[in-house]
Amino acid sequence: MSETIRHACGVFGIADHPEAANMTYLGLYALQHRGQESAGIVTTDGTMVYDHRGMGLVADVFSESILRNLIGPRAIGHVRYSTTGASDLRNVQPILCQYQRGWVAIAHNGNLINTDELRSDLESRGSIFNATTDSEILAHLLARSRKDDFLEALQDSLLKLNGAYSMIVMNSEYLVGLRDPLGIRPLCLGELNGTPIFCSESCALDIINARYIRTVNPGEMVIVDRKGNIHCHQFANRKRVAQCIFELIYFARPDSWIYGKEVHAIRKNIGRVLSREQRTNADVVIAIPDSSTCAALGFAEESGIPFDWGIIRNHYIGRTFIEPTQRIRDFGAKIKYNPVKAVLADKRVVVVDDSIVRGTTMRKIIKMIRRAGAREVHLRISAPVFRYPCYYGIDTPTRNELIGATHQVEEIRKQVRADTIHYISIPGLLEAVHGTDKEYCTACFNGKYPLRFPGGLPSDDNLRLWKETVQRNEDIPVELAVSEP
């Protein structure tokens, strides 16, 4: 993707291993692409609980000495990019809380949409929040549940949540992996020599030589007790499923399995369908690396147009400590990408990308390709037009910032200065992932949100104010989120 959409989070949990902290560290390292803001690990030996959390990348937060002090055979971990709650040490997960029944640790990927309602109710009954994330709400609900049994209290609390939540919950007795009734965000179940493991993507299993078993089903709790026994419980009935289709298009690593599907194969199939939808006369197919490469390969195979590496990505990008005093045109894009002139010169080029968000970076990239000598530039997008923001755990711009919401496709073509442009259709995308609109959430393309905010979806002004408010660590006014877009 040329324009970054920030991911939500990655979670990892292991039930019984002598090196649980090290295994969790490696699992989080494999999930680093899902969140680069902060990382945390909580472990337990069954009696005591140990934790360490910090801002930054996994390798920066943890050292060998820190991992040695995370004692016990059971652990959960989390990497975060904030979608609600400010970038602050208080909001780093896993959340660890002490309450009358002991302690509980929670690692959450997703976003609740009834946060305001629940938080206001809890605060009116005396709850004091330490963080500004929506994830802490579950801990307060657990503490206030009238159910004596922990698992019954957990189910009782979960049924009060509305939104996207793939979670790993741990206490002194249990390790539980669960997904919301719609299954919006992914969660995998694996095993290592008989030890159950939960993780956002199967690539976190590969790094420790664990085996992928299956996806945790929407509305399911997979429960591991202290003896290692596994029990699966459907805590919520599924009227439909709404798994985030953008995970398959962009977020997940191509070497992962999620939703029971191999991401690499799905993305190649998307490229094939994209090629069939609009035939193109061209000399070479290139990808905007790295997330578009699989789709570009599928496009090339289906069309018979050869694939080549027309753009090279700099993988070692951070903030540059200098900027040139004499302005270099398109400096930001050039830091990230550089064209291969031998591939592009005097060629009709098909450029495959997985989405266009604001359009500004794509315009710079096409200009770069033309300067490298390309005769024609045909833009092919392996996602439908991105028209609506996500409220379920992905940090996307407000609707008036999305070029697909404010411009027709032909206007977008003119804006980015491509010779032709084609987005895959929603039916084509569903065909490519072997699914239906009853299995996947496609709200960012068609506005058909499977879950609605209390009082209606927020307007652009309210959504902008909501994001600014949580970044300032302020309480979120309940009166926001009152009008349809």
Active site residues: 9
Q: What kind and span of H or E run contains 463?
A: helix 460-471
Amino acid at the residue 186: P
Cβ-contact 202, 257 below 8 angstroms: yes
Phi-psi sector, 37: left (phi>0), alpha (psi -120 to 50), beta: alpha
Q: For residue 64, how far is the Cα from the chain centroid?
A: 28
**Residue whose entry in the numeric block shows the structure tokens 């270099």:** 328
**Cα–Cα distances in angstroms (integers) from residue 101 to residues 98, 146, 173, in the given order:** 8, 11, 11
**Residue whose entry in the numeric block shows the structure tokens 């239906």:** 436
Cβ-contact 161, 137 below 8 angstroms: yes
- Helix 409-416 and helix 360-371, axial crossing angle in degrees, nearest 10: 50
Cβ-contact 90, 60 below 8 angstroms: no
Cβ-contact 109, 166 below 8 angstroms: yes
Residue 98 structure tokens = 């002490």
Residue 9: φ, ψ to 5°: -155, 165
Q: What whole-number distance in Å separates Cα of residue 31 and Cα of residue 9?
A: 9
Q: What whole-number distance in Å separates Cα of residue 185 and Cα of residue 25?
A: 21
Residue 373: φ, ψ to 5°: 110, 5
Q: What kind and span of H or E run contains 109?
A: strand 102-112
Cβ-contact 242, 223 below 8 angstroms: no
- Alpha-carbon dihedral angle through residues 12, 15, 20, 23, given to the nearest 10 degrees: -40
Q: What whole-number distance in Å separates Cα of residue 159 and Cα of residue 151?
A: 12
Which of 298, 190, 180 shows the shortest CA–CA distance to 241?
A: 180
Q: What whole-number distance in Å separates Cα of residue 243 and Cα of residue 120?
A: 29
- Helix 150-158 and helix 136-144, axial crossing angle in degrees, nearest 10: 120
Q: What whole-number distance in Å separates Cα of residue 230 and Cα of residue 197?
A: 11
